[in-house]
Amino acid sequence: MESSVIMFILLRIQAVPEPVDRWQNVSGTGIDMLKLMFDDGKRWSGAFQLCSTLSRLNVALDIDEFKSVRIMERSIYSERYCFLENQLNTGMISSAEFSVMNRWFEFAKKNFRSYVKPDVIGKLLTLPTKISQPVILYSYSLSEVRHRHAGEEHQEARPKRGGQH
């Protein structure tokens, strides 16, 4: 009985990998935006972020209707509130580029809300040397993520499962 329940649950989970292949061959052109960004970040970070956001949105819209749970490494929210904020703060993108990408994020958030809004944001913390040991899972609300990346004071997230804090 127990294994049947576990199998039922596992069959309902869709793991969504990073769309790296889409970044490394943009629209079948052979253009590797990821390499361009790593080779000359100042020049290509803005274009890469647009490509990355579009590919994450495409992945979010590609839903397996038989899977009720999707686990994504990153979403358009982490794209916006982590990567774009960091690139603006470090001078890798201009305020004009940030403004355009933020408008794209707001458009996607508004028009594709049911596809892109996460129910839970989790953070896995571990060191490579501790990978075989229990992992600490933290959970943040969207407002906590925004505050964290805006440099405002916030409470430390509470561990949800396993490990020690």
Q: What DSSP line would sit under 18-34, residue for residue?
A: --HHHHHSGGGS---HH
Q: Strand, helix or coil at 14? A: strand
Banded pLDDT at 163 (limits 50, 70, 90): very low
The pLDDT of residue 58 is 87
Phi, psi (degrees; rounded to nearest 5) at 123: -135, 120
Contact (Cβ atoms closer than 8 angstroms) between residue 102 and residue 79: no
How far apart are alpha carbons 140 and 21 in whole angstroms? 29
Helices 41-61, 95-111: axis angle to 10 degrees equals 0
The pLDDT of residue 131 is 61
Q: What is the pTM of this model?
A: 0.67
Is 18 designated active site? Answer: no
Banded pLDDT at 87 (limits 50, 70, 90): very high
Banded pLDDT at 165 (limits 50, 70, 90): very low
The pLDDT of residue 143 is 65
How far apart are alpha carbons 48 and 20 in whole angstroms? 11
Contact (Cβ atoms closer than 8 angstroms) between residue 50 and residue 99: no
How far apart are alpha carbons 136 and 159 in whole angstroms? 7
Q: What DSSP line would sit under 59-102, residue for residue?
A: HHH---TT--EEEES--HHHIIIIIIHHHHHTTSS-HHHHHHHH
> Of these residues, 18, 65, 73, 152, which one is catalytic?
73
Banded pLDDT at 17 (limits 50, 70, 90): confident
Domains and CATH numbers, the chain: 2-118 (3.40.50.300), 120-165 (no CATH)
